[in-house]
Amino acid sequence: MNRMFGRCVLCAVAASAAGTVLAKENTQTWGDEKYRPKLFKRFGDIVNVPDGLTKDPQGNIYHSAPNLVNPEYPGVIVKRDFRSGRWSVLCAGLRSPKTGFGRPMGLEFCEEDGNLYYCDNQYFDSKDYASRVMRVVLDKKGEVLRIETAVDNVKLANAIRFYKGDMFITDTYFDLDRKDGVGVGGVYRIPLAACKDKTVSLLPKPDYRKDPYFLCATETKPLERGDISGADGLAITREGHLYFGTFGSGRFYTAKRRADGTYEPAKLIFEDPKRFPCCDGICYDEVANRIIMSDSCLNALHTWDIAKEQKGECGFGELWRNGDSTGAHGLLDQPCEPMIWTDKKGSRKLVVANFDMTFPGLTNKKNDKFHTLSVIDL
């Protein structure tokens, strides 16, 4: 009897502890309540650092997790079946021969060849060009046949997009050790044909301007939190224009595509460290003709209105922001990648991955046990 009582007391304590957690979720929020993020998915520790998001033409969702917080679990790509809503493991990230880890981050389904590509971010394990872009070759049923290296010699492969036969990736660190303390990162453009039958190797960074695949550079003057990370998120509009921003300082750029398929030099279009101190993953919202940016530092989602930009106005806006949160009830917890997705009822959603692996100076203060995706009704 006493033992039973003891157990009940323990339960009561646990419930009260959970209640405390709930109360703390009443963190400050900014933004229209209709955009309050809700919980889309909570994973077990098998996905302990949620990162990249993409979808295929059938509406299946692919989600990557480099799992840097709890290395008991390998980096992994999971898949949500559109019809059943069930999640399953698609594959583990292929282990790097240099580090022994597989670290899938930004990923994109390529409609041109029907395969899934992901950035293998080895930078936290090796700064010696160990990162790669991997191609997950799928059969007609979507099962994995093999994983092969499309691009190597990358420092920190971060985001990946496709446009008209070309792959575009960001490399967040060039490690040029500039005297002025500015961090350089950049965007590369690699024709799919160039890496179809062999691996494309990027040139070492001291020669980056000679690299035939180099497209444009970003510069990051560190803010108070001392982060010099460069190009991170990348989005491409239906006309092929590029948008990208720096993780360390939220500098936001565009590079316009010319009619002949070449690109104009990158242009800095927004820089305001108070409102946008960190550009993590971004996506293009074709319906609203805007870019949606996740801000890992402020726990926020911002927007960039392209029509306003074309009129010479500032396109910046804030969609949602909240204070420190575990994400247990869907609030943002270091949002790193947004994705537009239409559910079975035809309702347009914004799905957001919450990285929840805190760095100095971020709103997120703790790597907690809630590994989550949020969702917002658009």
Binding interface with Ca ion (CB under 5 A): 326-327, 333, 356, 364, 366, 368, 370
108 or 333: whose CB is closer to Ca ion?
Answer: 333
Q: How far is the CB of 326 from Ca ion (least distance, A)?
A: 5
Q: Tell me the C-alpha distance between 23 and 25, whole Å.
A: 5
146 or 365: whose CB is closer to Ca ion?
Answer: 365
Q: If 0-12 CB within 10 Å is exposed, 13-18 middle and 19+ buried, where does residue 155 land?
A: buried
- What's phi and psi for 273, nearest 5 deg? -60, -20
Q: How far is the CB of 28 from Ca ion (least distance, A)?
A: 15
Q: Tell me the C-alpha distance between 362 and 247, whole Å.
A: 12
**CA separation (Å) from 238 to 163, 186, 210, 290?**
9, 21, 29, 11
Q: How far is the CB of 377 from Ca ion (least distance, A)?
A: 21
Which helix (H) or strand (E) segment holds residue 22: the answer is: helix 2-24
218 or 364: whose CB is closer to Ca ion?
Answer: 364
CB atoms within 10 A of CB 143: 9
Which helix (H) or strand (E) segment holds residue 24: the answer is: helix 2-24
Q: How far is the CB of 22 from Ca ion (least distance, A)?
A: 14
38 or 366: whose CB is closer to Ca ion?
Answer: 366
Q: How far is the CB of 99 from Ca ion (least distance, A)?
A: 26
CB atoms within 10 A of CB 20: 9
The two tokens of residue 31 are 């933004």
The two tokens of residue 225 are 């939190």
Q: How far is the CB of 364 from Ca ion (least distance, A)?
A: 5
170 or 326: whose CB is closer to Ca ion?
Answer: 326
Residues 6+ apart with CB under 8 A from 33: none
The sign of the torsion formed by the CA atoms of 104, 172, 267, 355 equals positive
Count of residues in the chain: 378
**Whether 27 contacts 326, CB under 8 Å:** no
125 or 368: whose CB is closer to Ca ion?
Answer: 368
131 or 364: whose CB is closer to Ca ion?
Answer: 364
Q: How far is the CB of 82 from Ca ion (least distance, A)?
A: 25
